[in-house]
Structure 1
Amino acid sequence: MSGKACVFVIEADQVIRSALGYILSERHETFTFAETADALSKAARAAPDAVLVGSSILEDSGAEMVGVLARKLHQAGIIVVAGSTRSPLALAGLRQGAEAIIAKPITFDGVTHAVDAVLARRGAEPSLAPSS
């Protein structure tokens, strides 16, 4: 194990998916997916500590997808990436179990801060994890 937290990015938009993956890859073991089914399949082998769900996924599948992910990946903190923190889909995602919203345009600091805060709350941040 690398000691890094495992973060999944699920976003159909390739540009946003790549940007999020790039931002997170330095500090976390990061996997990117265009479809939720692929992420869930990977989760059977490598459980994520945090999951970023893009607005394109919520637009296609509905905010209920956050609830599905929260139930299936109960150990992971879920973060919605949306056009704004007031987006109806993003707010519905919070009601379905997401812990945070990252508003576009995404920034390095905004993404890392949101992910680090969720990981810290869950005790999954490597610096907070007990050493073995």
Structure 2
Amino acid sequence: MSSKARVFVIEADQVVRSALGYILSERHETFTFAEPADALTKAARSAPDVVLVGSSLIADDGAETVAMLARKLNRAGIVVVADSVKAPLALAGLRQGAEAIIAKPITFDGVTHAVESVYARRGTEPGLAKSPRLVPTEISR
């Protein structure tokens, strides 16, 4: 890819949020948030290409949070970070508009591969039109 993706990590759990931010910060422009409202405020100034949503956030706020983010950040691909690709919260996120799942335990390669795959599929390279929402995929480690 010729440019870095702008990635938002929205995760209530500070340890997971920090780990994801650390993994992504070397290759991508990365911003971390504990609350969706903070991410939406930042998105008004600088829209993300990919959004990682932690399952703890879905557990706290409901899967509708993914649908709301997909609607408001419609150019961004959404990835759910969950305990497994078959976890009910992760599957609920897919039904609400997420494109992929990253299963814990998270790894450097797994996280960067998921972000770069979603980024490439969305056609977010400069000069390319937005691609249609693709069939959700599951990405583990």
What TM-score does the superposition give when structure 2 sets the normalisation length?
0.86
Give the equivalent residue in structure 2 for 1:58.
58
Asked if 1:5 corresponds to 2:5, the answer is yes
Q: What does 1:1-132 align with in structure 2 at a 5 Å threshold? A: 3-124=3-124, 128-130=125-127
Question: What is the Cα-based RMSD across aligned positions, in Å?
Answer: 1.0
Paired residue secondary structure (1:53): strand
Q: Distance in 2 between matches of 1:122 and 1:26?
A: 21
Structure 1 unaligned regions, length at least 5: none
Give 1:123 deviation, angstroms. 1.9
Q: Deviations over 1:2-40 (max 9, x none)?
A: x42100000011110010001101111000001111001
**Letter aligned with residue 24 of structure 2:** L
Give the equivalent residue in structure 1 for 2:138.
none
**Letter aligned with residue 27 of structure 2:** R
**Letter aligned with residue 55 of structure 2:** S
Paired residue secondary structure (2:45): coil
Give 1:47 deviation, angstroms. 0.1
Q: Deviations over 1:21-65 (max 9, x none)?
A: 011011110000011110011100010000000011100111111
Paired residue secondary structure (2:32): strand
Give 1:129 deviation, angstroms. 3.8
**Letter aligned with residue 116 of structure 1:** E
Paired residue secondary structure (1:44): helix
Amino-acid identity (%)? 78
Structure 2 unaligned regions, length at least 5: 128-141
